[in-house]
Amino acid sequence: MSSTILAAGGELNPLVPHVDEIVLGVVVFLILVFLIKKFVVPNFEKAYAERTAAIEGGMKEAAAAQEEAKAALEQYNAQLSEARHEAARIREEAREQGAQIVAEMRAQAQDEAQRIVTAAHQQIEAERAQAVQSLRRQVGELSTELASRIVGESLEDEARQRRTVERFIVDLEGSSNGSAN
């Protein structure tokens, strides 16, 4: 009785393995490891590497694009400020030029006015001199004729005639000056 129980217990002791199960377990497992190592892991790892590369590439590209955009912005800003400076400079220049032109024009106009006034003065002076000249001559002739008629004698002596006329004119001028004052 006890021997059969022992035998049964020995046979059914679950801790005692079947050797063929150990061998099968190890062999099948090693085959599975080999297959996974050979066919599964490389594919996954390749996909991971590609994914990493793609993401890194994308990030690099994005960074480059950002850099480019920043550079472009800086360039535009620089150009804009340059343009502003340029505009300010041109405005300033225009203002200066305008002022200069105005000044020049003014000076020119003044010169012109001066010139016109001077010319007028000269003309007036000339006309006055001419008038005086002609008046002087007419007065001489008139007074000579008058004197000859009054005195009744012909004053043929040129020298005396002239002296008489000049004396008369000096007197005339002196009296006209005195009346003007």
List residues near another protein by CB under 8 A: 12-26, 28-37, 39-41, 43-47, 50-51, 54
Closest among 172, 138, 166, 160 to 151, alpha carbons compared: 160
CB of 23 to another protein, least distance (A): 7
Nearest residue (CB) to another protein, 40 versus 63: 40
Nearer to another protein, 4 or 179 (CB): 4
Nearer to another protein, 44 or 76 (CB): 44
Nearest to 139 by CA among 100, 96, 175, 95: 175
Distances (CA, A) of 176 to 147, 173, 179, 180: 21, 5, 5, 6
Give the nearest distance from C-beta 30 to another protein in angstroms: 8
Query: How many helices (DSSP H) and strands (DSSP E) are in the chain?
Result: 4, 0
Q: What is the 3-state secondary structure (H, E, C) of 116-135?
A: HHHHHHHHHHHHHHHHHHHH
- Closest distance of CB 50 from another protein, Å: 5
Q: Are 158 and 140 in contact (CB under 8 A)?
A: no
Question: Minimum CB separation from another protein for residue 60, in Å?
Answer: 16
> Which is nearer to another protein, 4 or 43 (by Cβ)?
43
